[in-house]
Amino acid sequence: MASPSDRYATLNQRLADIAQSGRLRSLSPLTMTGPTTGIRSGQAVTVFCSNDYLGLSWHPDVVAAWQGRGAGSARLISGDRPAHHALEEALTAHYGRPATLLSSGYHANLALLTTLLQRGDRVASDALNHASIIDGIRLSRADKVILPHSTPGDIPADTTLAVTEGLFSMDGDIPTLSDWQGSHWLMVDEAHAFGVLGPGGQGAAAAQGIEPDFIVGTFGKAIGAYGSFVVGPPSLRPLLISAGRAFIFTTGLPEPAAAAALAGLRCANDGLREKLTENVVRFRSGLSALGLTALGDAHIVPVVLGAETMAVARSLLSAGYYAAGIRPPTVAPGAERIRFTLSAAHTAAQIDGLLDALNDAC
């Protein structure tokens, strides 16, 4: 039997290895004082790395909606609440197809992929798909083929499901979704596009006039709340409820989160989306004027700075602008970047201030 002193030796060794490779991460609380401002380590900062793209987490209707209790149980036992059904009905009306709530977006990808796929199926997945898609595929036991980012080429004929994102979280680009269509099913994770892109904020697929078989959306980003949903054909909802392990064996979404998500959905309007676009144009053209190249097409604005990334992020922070540096393993070595995210709630002065700070830092 391991002695008390070395009982956790393997964990300590793993931590030491992570630290040795420069990948040790730590938490640092950020007290938000407004939709784009906060206090971090005693310093006032303007935040350019939140996914609250429409500033809705501070909208008075969303703030007021955080009311109710924890569900206390899985929905199939005693945790099913009117707030869940109200939100599902609103989403079903939004998409014209049945929607089902899950906890986080991470959870939704696990639930959907493990319910749709079985051993022997083949899934074609974009090389830059989010960790939750990768983990869902692993759990499903389906065979996977990884396709080059955004250029899938010929998708193998025996593919059951192709899966991609509507707006990529690290590269900020929007794929041409018709390239992913075929005789197989198409699943699009709209985590970063839902609420922002497409008619009524339905996402990147709707913006391109495409109806994927399955959509994942989250309320933790543009909607300013918490929770997630999946949309699909009429068989999907009963299948999730009867056979979706990640739906069945977990506590229902807390009522306050469901109510806040419904309020956020109602508050996400074209005016906010236009304001966000205005801010994106201002920031992206300011970057070009500084001679900095940004990746992507929309409100996620990654600027690849390689080895300079963390030094520039620190310099921005000392000037009062908080934008996270993204390092391996999240991105490939050499592709380190600062991932700026814009919100409709940013002011022109905040964006211009960030550009000035970037000019000094670079």
- Answer for the pair 211, 197: CB distance below 8 angstroms, yes or no: no
CA distances from 36 to 39, 77, 154, 278, 325 (A): 11, 40, 43, 16, 18
Q: Which stretch binds ligand PLP (CB under 6 A): 21-29, 105-113, 149-157, 341-349?
A: 105-113
User: Please, which residues bridge with residue 339 across strands?
Assistant: 302
Supply the minimum distance, in Å, between the C-beta of residue 165 and ligand PLP: 5
User: Please, which residues bridge with residue 255 across strands?
Assistant: none
Binding mask 198-237 for ligand PLP (x = CB under 6 A): --------------------x-x-------x---------
Supply the minimum distance, in Å, between the C-beta of residue 31 and ligand PLP: 20
**Local structure of residue 206 (DSSP, 8 states):** H
Catalytic sites, residue numbers: 51, 130, 165, 169, 189, 192, 221
In whole angstroms, give the CA distance from residue 236 to residue 17: 43
Binding mask 136-175 for ligand PLP (x = CB under 6 A): -----------------------------x---x------
- Binding to ligand PLP by residue 339, rule CB under 6 A? no
Of 65, 101, 116, 191, the residue at the interface with ligand PLP (CB under 6 A) is: 191
Q: What is the CA radius of gyration of the chain?
A: 21
Query: 82-95 and 255-267 are packed helices; what angle lies between their axes, rounded to 10 degrees?
Result: 30
Residue 228 is encoded by which pair of tokens? 């997630």
Nearer of residues 98 and 203 to ligand PLP, judged by Cβ: 203
- Binding to ligand PLP by residue 130, rule CB under 6 A? yes
Supply the minimum distance, in Å, between the C-beta of residue 217 and ligand PLP: 9
- Answer for the pair 70, 255: CB distance below 8 angstroms, yes or no: yes
Of 38, 98, 105, 244, the residue at the interface with ligand PLP (CB under 6 A) is: 105
- Binding to ligand PLP by residue 114, rule CB under 6 A? no
Which residues, including other chains, have CB under 8 Å from residue 184's CB and lie 6 or more apart?
124, 155, 159, 160, 161, 162
**Residues of the shown chain interacting with ligand PLP in the complex, contacts defined by CB under 6 A:** 104-106, 109, 130, 132, 165, 169, 189, 191-192, 218, 220, 228
